[in-house]
Amino acid sequence: MLKMQSTEKSSKNLPEHAKVVIIGGGVIGCSTAYHLAKLGWKDIVLLERAQLTAGTTWHAAGLIESGGFFSETSVEITKYTLELYRLLEAETGLATGYKNVGMITLANTRDRLEELRRVAAFEREYGVELIEISPKKVKELWPLANTDDLLAGFYSPGDGRVNPVDVTMALANGARMGGVQIFEETSVTDFLIKEQRVTGVITNKGEIRADFFVNCAGMWSREIGKLAGVSVPLQPTEHYYLITEPIDGIHADLPVLVDLDKYAYYREEVGGILFGLFEPVSAPWALDGIPKGFSFGEIKPNWDRMMPYVEEAMKRVPILENVGIHKFFCGPESFTPDIGPMMGLAPELDNFYVAAGFNSLGILMGGGAGKVMAQWIVEGVPDVDISEIDIARMMPFENTPKYLQDRAVEILGALFEDGYPNKQFKRARNARKSAFHDRLREAGAYFGVYAGWEYPDWFAPKGVEPKVEYSWGRQNWFDYSAAEHHATRENVTMLDYSVMGKILVQGRDAEKYLNYICANDVAVPVGRCVYTQWLNEKGTIEADLTLTRLAEDKYLILTADGTIPAVQAWLRRHIPDDAHAVITNITSAYSVLNIQGPKSRDFLSSVTSAEMSNDAFPFLSMQEIDIGYSLVKALRVTYVGELGWELYIPTEFSLHVFDTLIEIGEDFGLKHIGLQALNSLRLEKAYRDYGNDIDNTDTPLEVGLGAFVKFDKLGGFIGRDALLRLKESGFRYRMPQFLLKDPEPLLYYGEIIYRDGIPVGHIMSGGYGHTLGASVGVGPVENKGEAVSRDFINSGTYEIDIAGIRYPAEVSLRPMYDPELKRVRC
Ligand SMILES: Cc1cc2nc3c(=O)[nH]c(=O)nc-3n(C[C@H](O)[C@H](O)[C@H](O)COP(=O)(O)OP(=O)(O)OC[C@H]3O[C@@H](n4cnc5c(N)ncnc54)[C@H](O)[C@@H]3O)c2cc1C
C-alpha cells in the first residue's frame, strides 16, 4: 500500500545532521531527492524557502518531449524523464497529469527540413521516433493549423504533457516514501565552510550539518552559490504564454504543435489553446535582484514588446485572432550563457553540487536530471556525457551581471532558431580577446567564440566581408578554409592559439602526484612533452591534455581554456594539501601562435638563432628560443599532423613577435588559418577532441588512445585497475575514422553509422577533409553489447546516414592521413 507523509512544517525541528541537504523544492530538487533515495541513500533533507513548486515550476506549460534533441545527453535525459513520468502515478499514488498526446514540429524552410531530418535520423538510434509527415497529415492531426506554407511536419508520438505541480508533488511523495524529509518555509540563509568543504547550512529554522549539499534553488541558485563562494551564472528572463477561451475543435488529445520559425508552440488547455513564445529578443528580469518573498509569482506582461510575436504566432493558428485571451502569463525562467544546464560538483568546493539553469526545459529534463545528479553524488561520475551540462565548464567571468544580461537576451529564442553547424552567439561578445585580435581582424578574420575568447574561425580574402551565411551545405567560407588547410599541408601557416589554457604545477612533489593522476608516464627528462589522459576510478576520461616538464620540479599543463576550472579542481582534489606542489593558472601570461606545415622549420630557422633541426629539436620537446627581441617557449607538437611548433610568448611581447613573424613570413608565403581549418586537418589525422569526440564516458583504450596509457609505470595511476578489467572483458566499442566515398555530403555530428546495414553508433565530430577529398569523421562502433575486436571493425561494410540518406564510407582504425607519422617526426 502507498504510504504518504505530510511535509514537515515549522512544527518539526530540523535534524542536526543529514547526509545530504538539498536546497529548493522545485521539480529539480524533488527529482534529485527522489533519485538519491532510489539509490538507497538515507538521511536526506530537502529545504524549501516557501512551498514546493513556488519558484518557477508551478507555472510551467508542462511540455515533455524527447523527440527534438540533437545531443546524446539530452536525448538520454529526456527519454528517461518521459518514462519516469509515465510510471510515477502508479508508484507514488499521485496523479501527474501525464498525457501522451504526441508532438508535431513544423518544417517551413529547406534548412529546417534538413535539420529535422538529421535530428530524426539521430534519434532513431536512441529508440525515439520522430516521423516525417506530410503537410496534409499535419492538417489531419491539427485541423485548425494553417499548413499552406509547410514542407513537412515531424511527429513524435512518445511526447506529450504533464502537470508540472503534480509531477513535482509525485516526485516529492516518492522521495518521502524513500525516507527523505522535506521542510517547507525553511530558507537557507548562509553556509558554514571549512577549507574546500561546506560543513553546514544556516536556515531561518536553525542549522544542519551535512556531508553533501545540492543547490537546486532555480533562479535563486546564483545567490545561493554566492553564499558558498560558487559561481552559478544564470539570468532570470521573462517567459510568456497565453491561454484562450474554449474553442470548438480543440480537445485534450490534440498533439502539441511546435512552430520553430514562428517561435511558438500550441497545446490544448481546458478546451482552449495555450500558446507559448520563445521570442528571439527576450527580456532579462530582476536586474537588481529577485524581489524578496517572490513565491508563486508572476511578472506583469509587457504587451507592447510581445505583440509582434503574438501576432506572428497567431498566423499559424488563425482562429487565435478571433478568440478571447483568458490569460496572458509571464513568469521568470533561468537562462545560462550557453543554453546548457549547470549540473554537478562545483569546481570551487568538494561537496557542493548544483542543478540549475534549465533554460525552459526543467520539467522535461527534470526526471533525468535528478537521476544524473544522484548518480554524480553517489558514484562520483554519471554515465552520461557531461560536456554540455557540467557546471565546471562555466568560466568565472560569465557570472558578471552585464555578461549574463547581455547574453540572456538571445538564449530563449536560440532554443527555437535553426541549429546550424558552427553557429555563434551574437551578443555578449568581445569579452576576451587575444593580443593579436586587432591584427587578425585587419587580416580578414571571422571570429567565433569559445570560453569568452574571440578566436579566428577562418579568414576572408581581401575585399570579402568576413561574414557567415549559415546553411547545412557548404557555407560561404568553405573554399577559404580549404585554402588554409592546403597551405598547412603544403607550406606553412600560423594560427592564434591563445585559447589554450596554461597551468603550472611546481614543487618537490609535482612529479609524484602528477604521475599518479596521468595515465601516461610524466617522469620524463626536463624539456619533454607528454600527451595524456586523466582518468577516474572507473577508468573513464576526466581530462585530455599535454604536460611539459620545464624543470625537475615544474610542469606546464596545456589544455583547452574552457576546461581550466575542471582541470584545476581535479588537481586540487588529487594533490594533498600538505604536498609540496603549487597549482597556478598562468593562461593570461602567454599568448600562443601555432606555426605548422612542412616549411615551418625553414621559416622558424630564419626568425631565430636557435637550432631547429630534428636532432636538435625533436618531436614532443620544448625549448626556449629567441624571436626578435623576445624569448619564447617553443613546443614541437602538432594537432594537424604536420611538422610544427606552438610558440608560448610572454603577453607583453605578443605583438612584437607577431609582427616579426609576419614580416619574415612574407618570403615564405605564411598564411593565417582559423579553427575551421584546424578541425579539418585534425580530423584527417583522427586526433581526438575532448568534449566532442571523447568524453567522461569513454576509456582511452576504447577510443584508440591505448598507446598513451602506461600500465607498467611505478606507482600506477588512477583508473588503472578499471582499465585492466576492461582489457579482460573486451572493449564495448572502438572509435575508428570514417571517410565518405561521395565527396559531396557533409558530416557534422550525430550522423548514424551503419555496419552491414545495422546501426552501430554515430559520428561524434565530422568535417571536410580537404586532402582526403571528402567528409571525414570519428565515431564509436558497437556490436550489440558484445566485445568489439579490431577484426569486427575492419571486416564490416559501412554507410553513414545523413538526413535519411545512407552514404557508403571507408573505415580505418589508423589515421587515414599519414598513418606512419612521417610528416610529423621528420
Ligand atoms: C512560462 C514558462 C513556461 C514553461 N514551460 C515549460 C515546459 O513546458 N516544459 C519544461 O520542461 N519547462 C518549462 N518551463 C521551465 C520550467 O518551469 C523550469 O525549468 C523548472 O521549473 C525549473 O525548476 P527548478 O526546480 O530548477 O526551479 P524552481 O521551480 O524555481 O525551484 C527552486 C526552488 O528553490 C526554492 N528556494 C530558493 N531559494 C531558497 C532558499 N534560500 N532556501 C530554500 N529554498 C529556496 C524556491 O522557493 C523554489 O521553490 C517553463 C517556464 C516558464 C517560466
Question: Counting Cβ atoms within 10 Å, is residue 729 exposed (0-12), middle (13-18) or buried (19+)?
Answer: exposed
Alpha helices for 614-770 (secondary structure H): 654-665, 675-684, 720-729
Closest protein CA for atom 35 of ligand 1: 24
Residues 439-476 pLDDT 10s: 999 999 999 999 999 999 999 999 999 999 999 999 99
Pocket probe for ligand 1: among 306, 333, 343, the residue whose CB has the most ligand atoms within 8 Å is 333
From the CA of 361, how far away is ligand 1's center (Å)? 10
From the CA of 483, how far away is ligand 1's center (Å)? 49
Confidence category of residue 385, pLDDT binned at 50, 70, 90: very high
Q: Which of 228, 136, 121 is nearest to 763 (CA)?
A: 121
Confidence category of residue 2, pLDDT binned at 50, 70, 90: very low
Q: Which of 761, 766, 758, 752 is nearest to 804 (CA)?
A: 752
Residues 262-285 pLDDT 10s: 999 999 999 999 999 999 999 999
pLDDT at residue number 7 = 52
Residues 568-613 pLDDT 10s: 999 999 999 999 999 999 999 999 999 999 999 999 999 999 999 9
Confidence category of residue 750, pLDDT binned at 50, 70, 90: very high
Residues 292-330 pLDDT 10s: 999 999 999 999 999 999 999 999 999 999 999 999 999
Question: How far, rounded to the nearest angstrom, does the alpha carbon of residue 307 sit from its chain's CA centroid?
Answer: 34
* Cell (9 digits) for 804: 535519411
Average pLDDT over the chain, rounded to an integer = 96
Global confidence as pTM: 0.97
Residues 656-665 pLDDT 10s: 999 999 999 9
Q: Which atom of ligand 1 is nearest to the CA of 332?
A: 53
From the CA of 428, how far away is ligand 1's center (Å)? 25
From the CA of 50, how far away is ligand 1's center (Å)? 13
From the CA of 548, how far away is ligand 1's center (Å)? 46
Percent over 90 (pLDDT), the chain: 97
From the CA of 333, how far away is ligand 1's center (Å)? 7
* Cell (9 digits) for 492: 606553412
Return the amino acid letter for 4. Answer: M
Is the Cβ atom of 555 under 6 angstroms away from ligand 1? no
pLDDT at residue number 12 = 74
Residues 110-168 pLDDT 10s: 999 999 999 999 998 899 999 999 999 999 999 999 999 999 999 999 999 999 999 99
Percent over 70 (pLDDT), the chain: 99
Residue 378 pLDDT > 60:
yes
Is the Cβ atom of 50 under 6 angstroms away from ligand 1? yes
Residue 8 pLDDT > 70:
no
From the CA of 636, how far away is ligand 1's center (Å)? 50
Contact between 552 and 729 under an 8 Å Cβ cutoff? The reply is no
Is the Cβ atom of 357 under 6 angstroms away from ligand 1? no
Instruction: Tell me what the mean pLDDT of segment 367-386 comes to.
Output: 97
In order of 801, 805, 808, the CA distances from 798 in angstroms are 10, 13, 6
Instruction: Tell me what the mean pLDDT of segment 194-212 comes to.
Output: 97
Residues 781-823 pLDDT 10s: 999 999 999 999 999 999 999 999 999 999 999 999 999 999 9
In angstroms, rounded to a whole number, what is the distance separating the alpha carbons of residues 23 and 201?
Answer: 10
Instruction: Tell me what the mean pLDDT of segment 185-208 comes to.
Output: 97
Q: Which atom of ligand 1 is nearest to the CA of 265?
A: 8
